[in-house]
Amino acid sequence: MAVNPRPTPTAITAMKPADLDDVVGIERLSFRRPWSRQMFAEELGRQWAHVDVLREDGEPRVVGFINYWLVRDEIHILNLATHPDCRRRSYGAQLLLHVIEFARRHDCRYLTLEVRRSNHAALRLYRRYGFRQVGVRPKYYVEDNEDAIVMLLELW
C-alpha cells in the first residue's frame, strides 16, 4: 500500500514589490486575459486591496497568490491562482481559507467572486468551502463571451 507523502509546509504573506515577477508569471500561465504587472503594482498602493502570496516553506519563489478587496463588510476575490507545476497540492484551498479567516477577523458578512462557467475545478473548490451561486453575468469574459458565475459565501 502506497503512503501519501506529507504535505509541503507553506507560508502565506502579503505580496511585496519583489514578488511581482512571480505573481505576473503565474497570472499569465493561469488566465486567458491576464492582469498586467502595472495592475498588480497598483494594488500595492490601494488601501482596500490585498494580494497575498504562498510559498513552500524556505523557498523564495511564489507558487500561488490571491488578490482580494476589503470593502466595508465584504471581501471581493478578484484572482486566485497557483503555478501550473504546483497544482493539486491544496494551495488554492489554503489561499481561500486564508482569506475566509481574514474576513472573519475583520467581521465581514460576505465574500463574493466571479468564476468562468467552464472552470469546473474552481467551482468545486468554492462550493467545498460554502460558496453558492447567486447569479450569472452573461458574456462577462469579453475575449470569448463566456458567462461568469457569481458566487457568494455568507459568514453571518
91-150: per-residue pLDDT in tens?
999 999 999 999 999 999 999 999 999 999 999 999 999 999 999 999 999 889 999 999
Q: Range of 22's domain?
A: 10-114
**Cβ atoms 149, 141 nearer than 8 A:** no
Nearest by Cα to 115 from 95, 93, 129, 131 = 131
- Return the CATH number at 100: 3.40.630.30
Single pTM value for the model:
0.91
**126 is known as an active-site residue:** yes
Q: Domain for residue 124, yes or no?
A: no
Q: Domain for residue 37, yes or no?
A: yes
Nearest by Cα to 93 from 5, 15, 7 = 7
Nearest by Cα to 78 from 105, 53, 51 = 51
**68 is known as an active-site residue:** no
The catalytically annotated residue of 74, 110, 114, 141 is 114
Q: Domain for residue 78, yes or no?
A: yes
Count structural domains, the chain. Answer: 1
Q: Domain for residue 139, yes or no?
A: no
